[in-house]
Structure 1
Amino acid sequence: MEITFSLEEIDSAAKQVLAQNIKSIITFHAGMGVGKTTFIKALARQLGVKDMTSSPTFSLVNEYGTEDGRILYHFDLYRLNSESEAYDMGIDEYFYSGNLCFIEWPEKTPNLIPIDHTAITMKMLPDGKRQLIVK
């Protein structure tokens, strides 16, 4: 699935993604400043998360409750120096909890990401819109 959207259309794009047969583990691949966190916030809004405020850059993971009572973990792995740091924080327990896991910078833990996941690749287009590919 491929979607091109402007920031004004981000909630519609998030709805389209959630309407797909996506896995509970979703990785987000994009460069710095492309809008991974912004898109994750849009997904969370569509899931009924009310209290999402910031990226977990310094805490590595934030936990939110969805409207239907599910748990959403939002990871920002940018600051990790090694996979062993992620393993030490118990990242595998989060990934195999059955809860939603949205993961920014999954490249930092390539050997820890479950095989059965959905990957979203984002890129900024010259006109300022974003292209999103879901696999």
Structure 2
Amino acid sequence: MTQIRIESLDAIRAAAQQFVNSIGEARVIAFYGGMGAGKTTFIKALCQELGVEDVITSPTFALVNEYTDGHGDPIYHFDFYRIRRIEEVYDMGYEDYFYSGNLCLLEWPELIEDILPDDTVRVKISVDADGSRLLEF
């Protein structure tokens, strides 16, 4: 198991770069953590490290946002917090995203655990008492 500690927001970009170097060719990355753990904040830093110039926000109502990385490739950012039925994910054509070969970043994947690809990288984000974050994957 790999661990990356983020001591403060000032260190988040360095942590994102370390994460990019650690995941290799992984394409589907699921972020687990409670409300306020920093999933969206870390995904924003990660996308910035990958050259995204788009505005990066949580797709809470849209379910998925598409960004373009520094090489012109799409990155898909999902937020499954508001999913009430797995059929909603089937209806959005999740397979077209998850198996596209493009990077897919998932928030609240607990709600769709049964349909995640076998090679999904699962990242747990926890908050320590001092406010630092720990990523474990």
Amino acid at match of 1:114: P
The equivalent residue for 2:14 is 12
1:64 aligns with 67
- Superposed, which structure 2 residues align to 1:112-131 within 5 Å? 112-131=115-134
Deviations 1:50-89 (A, max 9, x none): 0133110010000010001211000000000021110111
Q: Which runs of 4+ in 1 moved over 4 A?
A: none
C-alpha displacement at 1:22, in angstroms?
Answer: 5.0
Larger helix proportion, structure 1 or 2? Answer: 2
Query: Given residue 2 of structure 1, which amino acid in structure 2 is its aligned partner?
Result: Q
Structure 2 Cα separation of the partners of residues 56 and 102 of structure 1:
11
CA RMSD across the alignment: 0.9
Say if 1:22 and 1:118, in contact at 8 Å, map to a contact too. Answer: no
Confirm or deny: 8 A CA contact 1:83 1:112 kept in the other structure.
no
Structure 1, unaligned runs of 5 or more: none
TM-score, normalised relative to structure 1: 0.96
Q: Which segments of 5 or more consecutive residues in structure 2 lack a partner in the other structure?
A: none
Distance, in Å, in 2 between the alignment partners of 1:65 and 1:39 is 17
Aligned length: 134
CA distance in 1, matches of 2:53, 2:44: 10
Q: Percent of counterpart pairs with the same letter?
A: 48
